[in-house]
Amino acid sequence: MRSSRRRRGRAPRPRRPDRIEARTTIARVPPRPRRFLLLIGLALLALVAALLLPAVPQPLAYHHFVDHRAAFGVANFADVASNLSFAVAGVAGLVAALRSRSCFAAPGERLPYLVFAIGLLLTAFGSGYYHLLPDNARLFWDRLPMTVAFMSLIAAQIVDRVDVRVGLLALVPLLLVGAASVLYWSWTEQQGRGNVMPYVVVQAFAAIVLLLLAIRYPSRYSRGSAIYVVLAGYVVAKLFEQEDGAIFALTGVVSGHTLKHVAAGVAALAVPLMLWCRRLR
pLDDT of 12 > 70? The answer is no
136 and 58 Cβ atoms separated by less than 8 Å: yes
For residue 280, the tally of other CB atoms under 10 A from its CB is: 10
Task: Tell me the whole-structure pTM to 2 decimals.
Answer: 0.86
Domains present along the chain, CATH in parentheses: 36-277 (1.20.1070)
CA distance 217 to 213: 5
Q: Is the dihedral of CA 113, 169, 125, 237 positive or negative?
A: negative
Q: What is the pLDDT of residues 153-195, one digit of tens each?
A: 999 999 999 999 999 999 999 999 999 999 999 999 999 999 9
Mean pLDDT in residue range 88-99: 97
Closest to 178 measured CA to CA, from 210, 158, 206: 206
Q: What is the pLDDT of residues 209-232, one digit of tens each?
A: 999 999 999 999 999 999 999 999
DSSP code, position 71? B
DSSP code, position 54? P
pLDDT of 148 > 60? The answer is yes
pLDDT at position 34 is 66
Q: What is the pLDDT of residues 19-60, one digit of tens each?
A: 433 343 333 434 556 667 878 888 899 989 988 999 999 999
pLDDT at position 42 is 85
Backbone angles phi, psi at 280, to 5 degrees: -70, 130
pLDDT of 208 > 50? The answer is yes
pLDDT at position 8 is 52
DSSP code, position 14? P
CA distance 267 to 150: 12
105 and 159 Cβ atoms separated by less than 8 Å: no
165 and 29 Cβ atoms separated by less than 8 Å: no
Percentage of residues in the chain having pLDDT higher than 70: 88
pLDDT, mean over the chain: 89
CA distance 226 to 119: 18
DSSP code, position 150? H
Percentage of residues in the chain having pLDDT higher than 90: 81
275 and 102 Cβ atoms separated by less than 8 Å: yes
Could you tell me which residues are beta bridge partners of residue 74? Answer: 71
pLDDT of 65 > 80? The answer is yes
Runs of H (alpha helix) within the chain: 2-9, 17-27, 37-52, 77-81, 84-98, 110-132, 136-161, 164-190, 197-216, 226-242, 244-251, 256-268, 270-277
pLDDT at position 121 is 98
pLDDT of 270 > 60? The answer is yes
CA distance 25 to 41: 30
265 and 86 Cβ atoms separated by less than 8 Å: yes
